[in-house]
Homo-oligomer: A and B are copies of this chain.
Amino acid sequence: MTRTRVGIVGLGRLGREYAINLHSRIERVELVAACSINPEELEFAESDLAIPVFSDLDIMLQKVEMDALFVISSTSMHAGQIIKGLQAGLHVFSEKPLAITVEECRKVEEIAKQHPDQIAVVGFVRRFDQSYQYAKRKIDQGAIGKPFLIRSQTVDKDTIADWQIKYVLQSGGIFHDFNVHDIDLARWFLASEIETVWSIGDAYKYPAFAEVGDADNVMSTCRLANGTMAVINAGRTATHGHDTFTEIVGTEGSILIGRPAQKHLVEIYDKHGSRREWIEVFWDRFSDAFLTMTKDFIECIQAGKKPELTLNDATQVTRVAIAFTESFQQGKLIHLD
């Protein structure tokens, strides 16, 4: 069987993991080229993956024959690079978010429409996590009746905050960077669009985030079109570890996903009581889901299937993240059209 040839643009913390997955952990895929503006990243690709590297995406797309492009660059580059990939005739997978303005999202959607035979998708990785999938199946089977409330949070361990402050501006802020997953999950589990939102928060521990107009902890309450509710938190200050969880409450029960996010199946009994040490970063929690998501994209290409997630999902998510940000900045309810 033929192998799908893929290129990747962006080899940062996460891009590197995608590259390794594509290079070694998925059958019938060949990682054929990598692009980055960072010399260290290119060096990694050359030495560890032994593939041709480029500092200019256009040149890579011209020179290397491939079937698909992975866009794992920084947020502000996503939309433009997806478009380049599509226009080069490639299937495109992009890390979240699609963009931080609706205009850019719409533009990508338009271009994608002009390339109906190419897959273009933004990866919301939690949908591919086994625990989330298991919960979704249970809920679809009626295990909790009709879901009407979702509580979902993305909270990082405080040790990463210093690193995050450097990327706040280009990432679009805490709502775009953290909560796009939770927004997508609210839409997925509650089967409706978010209509009205109120976001509050502050820099309670690290004033540096307030200085650039961002926050270290925020909370967004949402009313969806079908009358259901969501409350979505993000945080940068947890001391126990990465603490991403989602609770879906229905008329006949509820399901809590992701807690405790303990390091392995180990409970310790000592002078601190009985305790579970937690994972430190999201990768410890979701590395399997990233692999599953990447495989799913490749399978869609090879089987000629449409992915469940569409570009419009990504646009809707960005619209909500923008509404969160506006509500947070302006201190008022925001109604999405």
- A interface residues with partner B (beta carbon < 8 Å): 24, 27, 130-131, 134-135, 138, 143-146, 148-149, 151, 196, 198, 200-202, 204-205, 217, 219, 221, 223, 227-229, 231, 233, 235, 237-241, 243, 249, 251-278, 331-333
Whether A266 pairs with B134 at a CB distance below 8 angstroms is yes
In the bound complex, how far is the Cα of B200 from the Cα of A196, in angstroms?
A: 10
Q: Provide the residues of chain B in CB contact with A149, threshold 8 Å.
A: 217, 219, 233
For A231, the closest partner residue in chain B by CB is B231
| 27 A/B residue pairs, CB under 8 Å, sorted by A | A24-B27, A134-B266, A135-B266, A143-B268, A146-B205, A148-B202, A196-B331, A198-B333, A201-B229, A202-B227, A204-B251, A217-B229, A219-B229, A219-B231, A221-B231, A240-B253, A240-B254, A240-B269, A240-B271, A240-B272, A255-B268, A255-B269, A256-B268, A257-B265, A259-B265, A262-B274, A275-B276
Whether B231 pairs with A254 at a CB distance below 8 angstroms is no
Whether B257 pairs with A266 at a CB distance below 8 angstroms is yes
Contact of A256 among B196, B229, B255, B269 (CB under 8 A): B269
Number of copies: 4
| A-B complex: 10 closest residue pairs judged by Cβ atoms | A275-B275, A253-B270, A131-B264, A221-B221, A273-B277, A148-B204, A205-B251, A131-B265, A240-B269, A256-B267
Chain B proximity of A95: nearest CB distance (Å): 23
Q: Provide the residues of chain B in CB contact with A148, threshold 8 Å.
A: 202, 204, 217
Whether B276 pairs with A131 at a CB distance below 8 angstroms is no
- Among A198, A257, A265, max chain B CB count under 10 A is at A265
Chain B proximity of A97: nearest CB distance (Å): 24
In the bound complex, how far is the Cα of B218 from the Cα of A149, in angstroms?
A: 9
Contact of A269 among B221, B251, B253, B265 (CB under 8 A): B253
For A204, the closest partner residue in chain B by CB is B148
For A224, the closest partner residue in chain B by CB is B200
In the bound complex, how far is the Cα of B274 from the Cα of A275, in angstroms?
A: 5
Whether B269 pairs with A272 at a CB distance below 8 angstroms is no
Q: Provide the residues of chain B in CB contact with A256, threshold 8 Å.
A: 266-269
